[in-house]
Amino acid sequence: MSSSVAKAPESSFSARLRAVRPELTKSEAAIAQWLILNEGTIGLETGASIAAKTGVSPITVSRFFRRLGYKGLPALKTDLQASAANLHLDAVGRTLRLLEGEIGTLIKRDAEAVLGLGSQIARPEWTDAVLALEGASDVFVTGFQTVRGLAEDFARRLSIVRPSVRFVSPHDTGLAEWIHPPGHAPRNCLLLVDTIPYARQAEPIVQMARQAGMSAVVVTDELNTWAARHTPLVFFAPTKVGTFLESTGPLATLLNLITHSVAGRDPERTRERLDRWPEVLRNLDLF
């Protein structure tokens, strides 16, 4: 399998950014990195949009442009247009050059798989799943084998926007998290991520969750036939795009959209949690 792609010449702007990198502050380095990676679409941006995408203030962006010798973003855009003309290489040309190769074909297939998720989100069960995850007392997340990492990441990200989210591993705890006092029936929800080769434990866990009165959401690949026997909240992400291993990109996108949709159900709670989280991180002195 050949994956070689002709390397596009570097613009003078990117070269300038790389040259000053060692002298940049943390915020400036973030701006520089974003500009290098998105040079072809800077013409569509504003100072405010660049600030939002890099996590800094608009003033920091303006100061950074001045440090580079530009009188604001319009001056930078003019310089980039001239640079592209001199190189005979604009953003479209770079993209076409990449897409001509094998890697480009795989990128297009993966992108088509992600766009195909629209048919899943358009189903009425999507709203039911989001409501179940948003309204649950506790959300339990699990996944096995190669997609365990995806499930763990989803649990961590969902816990930022809503409380009481836990990744559970039957091998580690024996699902002791599901034991409740007699007569106590919390409204819980299980989300399972499962793909080929389907884990032996996956179907029994969904069955147990349903028998315990939980809602169950299954995020899986296009060949899964067992999940729909136990829950209507099954969502399929294409994984076969021609790579040696199945692509997990569409699965990750689908899980990210679930997190976003749950957060959007109670935006005030989400904003409050997002506002409080940096304080927790500062107290931990992790960053």
Q: What is the mean pLDDT of each run of 10 residues along the chain (287 residues)?
A: 51 83 92 87 88 93 90 84 54 61 86 94 97 97 95 97 94 81 79 92 94 96 93 95 91 98 95 89 78
- B/e letters for 202-240, b = 16+ CB within 10 Å, e = fewer, are bbebbebbeebebbbbbbbbeebeebeebbebbbbbbbe
pLDDT of residue 97: 64
pLDDT of residue 91: 52
3-class SS of residue 136: coil
Domains of the chain: 12-100 (1.10.10.10), 116-284 (3.40.50.10490)
Smallest CA-to-CA distance from 240 within 150, 148, 116, 153 is with: 116
pTM for this prediction: 0.73
pLDDT of residue 88: 45
- B/e letters for 241-250, b = 16+ CB within 10 Å, e = fewer, are beeeebbbbb
3-class SS of residue 246: coil
CA of residue 141 relative to chain centroid, distance: 17
